[in-house]
Copies of this chain bind each other. A is one copy, B any other.
């Protein structure tokens, strides 16, 4: 049975999900629901442990890709603050591009079904054999909690990969492979046979980020590969293992199915000698997918030409509190989302705009100060119990984030009011974990320089506004200017809601209204929630729309007189 046939039924369900945008996933949401969960989890932990080296004997992660110059690796677990001692091949960049260029022709000639079958098999291989290994790899590089690493960086990222395949297929199927064409020119009748080929652009470079490596990279890789391109993966040097495992899985399936594994390779660098710009400006680079900082993302957008750039960076995600039914429930939801993975998600809220006169509730107005204090209390309640804190906050991926927290704390003390001061919490399993509870500052719209733009990490601002109207105007202007992926509104006033929907739609932040309860406010569901609009500086690539896939291939045609019937 061909791989396409094996995965066809699932792909068809995914197509329907993308069309209806209803909830669907072929995967269990929680680790405990994985088939034979206990054994699988134990095997995954073991597989991860086997990758680790020691200070004396670093362990090589073998990848049979060309051009290996050196073995490097500088990952440090945010849970132990110890090096992983894993060394990966550092490749000569030209050798990777050369090999990728040679691999493309056969891959591009394969039909759509073949490529889709192979790529579905890769996702299936990761799911069946590497999911818990990946979970541990993400934990000890990105610093996510076990459950988030399983869900957000595991099954939900696999879903995003399938979703990208659905749209790639849709775009490719919109081109008929051949046509008969007949027309008269004067007295003559001309009959032509026409053939339309899908031609890949070439070699794609896929950057993955330190805190959420797979969620953007897998769909980007799928989009490029499904449309016939090769991919050079450039992981953040702090978070290599999840992408090295991914690259190995792609290469394994490509090899087993008779394709050149050099369609997918790993390009590694170090913090001190980055190769990002060199990869973007390489003459063979045709596509660039970038997830990471605003600064480098904008450099990519400006400089990728003639390559096409697809970016997802960051921004200031905004919350507006106008009026609420149940202030406690709202603040608990907000607190959870502010704490979730220590707000190291591109969808984490940061700026909370509150009218100076307070927030309307069924029991009357609650003052701005009281709202701020209650929010701070809700957050500190979540952080009090280490086991709960560990599940929600997890760790802080980078020491730079601790430095930023300290700096913003200081700024807040001198310029605003510190509603909640950050402090390490003690992780129950990993006593040496890099952790911090959130910092919350109360400021006014005068302090825009503090809160405009992403302050990466568990840092948020309660911002005093003159009115709900001004809050909306300011928040949506901040999104337009500094970027924003998500936005959150609490209001019982349908007119105000309609205004906010319009303002945020134009500003390009995905809006969640009056949500409380068990779902994390910033949860983005594959097949249903579009991630990034492209309308503001937070990125230009949306997971997943046709624009994400349709320019990754071109259409070349040939035509000739029809053979006599």
Contact = CB atoms under 8 A, between A and B. Distances in A.
A174 interface: yes
A429 B81 CA distance: 87
Contacts of A20: 176, 179
Contacts of A179: 20-22, 528
A23 B194 CA distance: 11
A513 B558 contact: yes
Given A517-B188, A533-B199, A546-B174, A557 B510 contact: yes
Contacts of A182: 22-23
A492 B519 CA distance: 67
Copies of this chain, how many?
Answer: 2
Contact of A525 (B21, B183, B514): B183
Given A20-B176, A186-B518, A305-B301, A508 B199 contact: yes
A226 to B, nearest CB: 14
A553 to B, nearest CB: 8
A359 B171 CA distance: 41
Contact of A517 (B170, B190, B554): B190
A535 interface: yes
Contacts of A7: none
A197 interface: yes
A560 interface: yes
Nearest to A176: B21
A180 B17 CA distance: 11
A199 B535 contact: yes
Contacts of A560: 512-515
Nearest to A180: B22
Nearest to A512: B559
Contacts of A192: 515
Contact of A546 (B201, B508, B550): B550
A171 to B, nearest CB: 5
A387 interface: no
A547 B172 CA distance: 11
A187 B302 CA distance: 47
Task: Indicate the member of A515, A547, A561 with the most B CB atoms within 10 Å.
Answer: A547
A202 to B, nearest CB: 9
Contacts of A561: 514-515
A17 to B, nearest CB: 10
A306 interface: yes
Contacts of A513: 558-560
Contact of A174 (B170, B183, B534, B551): B170
Interface in A204-224: none
B554 A542 contact: yes
A256 interface: no
Given A176-B19, A517-B190, A529-B557, A197 B545 contact: no
A4 interface: no
Interface string A20-40: 111100000100000000000
Contact of A555 (B302, B506, B530, B556): B530
Contacts of A547: 171, 547, 550-551
Given A181-B21, A519-B185, A547-B551, A559 B190 contact: no
Contacts of A511: 556-559
A97 to B, nearest CB: 16
A196 to B, nearest CB: 7
Contacts of A508: 199, 554, 556
A306 B182 CA distance: 43
A42 interface: no
A535 B530 CA distance: 29
A501 interface: yes
Contacts of A365: none
Contacts of A175: 545
Interface string A479-503: 0000000000000000000000100
Contacts of A174: 170, 545-546
Contact of A533 (B510, B534, B556): B556
A558 B199 contact: no
19 contacts: A19-B176, A20-B179, A21-B194, A23-B182, A23-B183, A179-B528, A186-B518, A190-B517, A199-B505, A201-B535, A302-B305, A504-B558, A509-B556, A510-B558, A515-B560, A529-B559, A530-B555, A533-B555, A542-B554
Interface of A: 19-23, 29, 170-171, 174-176, 179-183, 185-188, 190, 192, 194-197, 199, 201, 301-302, 305-306, 501, 504-506, 508-515, 517-519, 525, 528-530, 533-535, 542, 545-547, 550-551, 554-561
Q: Which 3 residue pairs spanning A and B have beta carbons closest together?
A: A21-B179, A188-B518, A513-B560
